[in-house]
Amino acid sequence: MRFIDPTGAVHHPAWFDPHPLAADHAVIPRMLQSWAAANAQAPCVQFDDDTLWSYGEAWAMARRTAGGFRAIGVEQGDIVLVWLPNGPSFMRAWFGLSTLGAVHTPLNVALRGKMLEHVIRNSGAKTMIAHKDLVSRLEGLDLSQLDCVIVCGGTDPAGGDIQYLSEDALSKAEPADRLTELQPWDLAAVLYTSGTTGLSKGVMIPYAQLATAGQVAHGYLKRDDRIYIFTPLFHTVGISAVFATLNKGACLHLAESFRGPTFWQDVKRTGCNRILGLISSMTSYLAKAVPAGEPCPFDFAMMSPITAETVKFAKDQGFGYFSAYSMTELSVPVLSDVNSGVLGSCGRPRSGVECRVVDANDIEVPQGGVGELIVRTDWPWTNNVGYLNDPIATANAWRNGWFHTGDAFRQDEEGNFYFVDRLKDSIRRRGENISSVEVELEVASYPGVMEAAVIGVPSAYGDEEVMVVLAPLPGHTVDPAQLTAFLLQRLAHFMVPRYVRIVDALPKTPTNKIKKHELRETGLPQGTWDREAHGIYVKRQKLA
């Protein structure tokens, strides 16, 4: 690796500068303007259809689109909903809104019904830009404050109180010439949480948070690099990568989505030498699908979590790696050494961050104990500033001056942090607390398993039984009895799943989070394999 010495990493990768970022390195219009002036022909954004915008073109488009939004009544500070998939229309709207000083609020394209209604009403937005195939989902919803929808790809004939405009309306006005002097503490976006366990909350995010997250996760980027971004841009993982790219004047390729079977070829075809981070299901899939020794198109990646399987995959393919922990509300507070061999760990707090593992009363638990991770930073504006129109949730999350993640962690003697589970996902069986994540990692290591989710289902004893729902790799089958025998050698007896359900694919949000609440609601459908019904009972080993 030409950019870092793996043996030189101490507590965080050496590229991270913990000092607060100035506006020229944190605010989108300032970065676009600066690089356009330095080299207008330098590549900025490439798309799946091979369309390429230079920095000069991106900056001109941002100014013209800002003028278009202003002409239809959008003002600085207004929240504008962007309901679009990854692509040119999304980037055009985002750059234009930022240049105007409006608050970019991207929505999950899978939303519909009451969840969609809740997000729109909670935002208080009057203006939305949406894909033509999504607009029909607005029918029948209570959207009293929404009065203008810009339709990408066509106009909608619907009447009523909402005005529908075509995307062309954004290019008819004069380019914005009086630019808003945005600062790192200004609100850049409102991002709605996935809502996997309840109504989504709108996280209010300053520019400094997104820029810092980009620096932490992608600060190794150089100006001549090209990064392959494949997650939806209504999630901080992809958004912060865009910030990091613009900060360095590099180029990004914006893919519509992650395409596992062609991922290796897609990265090569687009000329990218950097990629976005790989979450566990992606890494597990690639580790089993990509032949050892296949030339790797990149030389560095974030992988979470670090397992024996992922370490072997990185070594076989010849790329370096690190792990990290973050969430929509934070700016990557924990990350590992480069090429860390501490399996399962997210790493240690980066410079400028304090982390504690606490009980329900915010009292620190003994070392090695499991509790909730809470976080605070030295520099202002590098974490969220609350939940939009939800003061109670904001107060609960920020009580005692620390942000409460809702995630269960433990810490070892060396200061390494380990993600255990979402607090609400922990399983209680026969007096034992079980981490669904730990069971999932072992199931995913079984040959033929692409990904797995572990949940608790009600038992006859008033607590829970462990159930795994798994999806095999294409063309593979998984025998539940053989899987159970495999797990018996790797898990404590009380953690071995009683039930195994095999599906073609796990239900997910567009940010690749498994919808465990849907799996719990489904329960034990017909065809679920029960090891006890097959005479397989697991008991504690009797010691002499």
Contacts of 318 (CB under 8 A, 6+ apart): 296, 299
For 290, list phi and psi in degrees, rounded to 5.
Answer: -95, 125
DSSP symbols for 434-482 = E-HHHHHHHHHTSTTEEEEEEEEEE-TTSSEEEEEEEEEPTT----HHH
SS3 263: helix
Contact 13, 338 (CB under 8 A): yes
Q: What pLDDT, on the 0 to 100 scale, is given for residue 380?
A: 93
Q: What pLDDT, on the 0 to 100 scale, is given for residue 177?
A: 78
CB atoms within 10 A of CB 316: 15
Q: What pLDDT, on the 0 to 100 scale, is given for residue 226?
A: 96
**pLDDT tens, residue by residue, 468-496:** 999 999 999 999 999 999 998 888 788 89
Identity at 423, one-letter amino acid code: L
Q: What pLDDT, on the 0 to 100 scale, is given for residue 11?
A: 41
Cite the beta strand spans of 343-401 per DSSP E.
345-349, 353-358, 371-377
472/285 Cα distance (integer angstroms): 10
**How crowded is the C-beta side of 73, counted as CA atoms within 13 Å?**
11
Q: Which residues pair with 429 in a beta bridge?
A: 432
Q: Is 411 left (phi over 0), alpha (psi -120 to 50) or beta?
A: beta
Count of residues in the chain? 544
Q: Which helix (H) or strand (E) holds 465?
A: strand 464-472
Q: What pLDDT, on the 0 to 100 scale, is given for residue 422?
A: 78
Contact 330, 375 (CB under 8 A): yes
Q: What pLDDT, on the 0 to 100 scale, is given for residue 12?
A: 47
SS3 512: coil
151/168 Cα distance (integer angstroms): 9
Q: What pLDDT, on the 0 to 100 scale, is given for residue 1?
A: 26
CB atoms within 10 A of CB 513: 15
CA dihedral of residues 74, 80, 83, 88 (deg, nearest 10): 60
Q: What pLDDT, on the 0 to 100 scale, is given for residue 13?
A: 52
Domains of the chain are: 20-208 (3.40.50.980), 351-425 (2.30.38.10), 427-530 (3.30.300.30)
Q: What pLDDT, on the 0 to 100 scale, is given for residue 155?
A: 67
For 400, list phi and psi in degrees, rounded to 5.
Answer: 60, 20
Q: What pLDDT, on the 0 to 100 scale, is given for residue 15?
A: 54
Q: Which residue has the tokens 């900056």?
A: 59
Angle in degrees, CA 137, 138, 144, rounded to 5: 165
Name the DSSP class of 42. S
Residues of the chain below pLDDT 50: 1-12, 14, 196, 543-544
Q: How far apart are the first and last CA of the chain?
A: 53
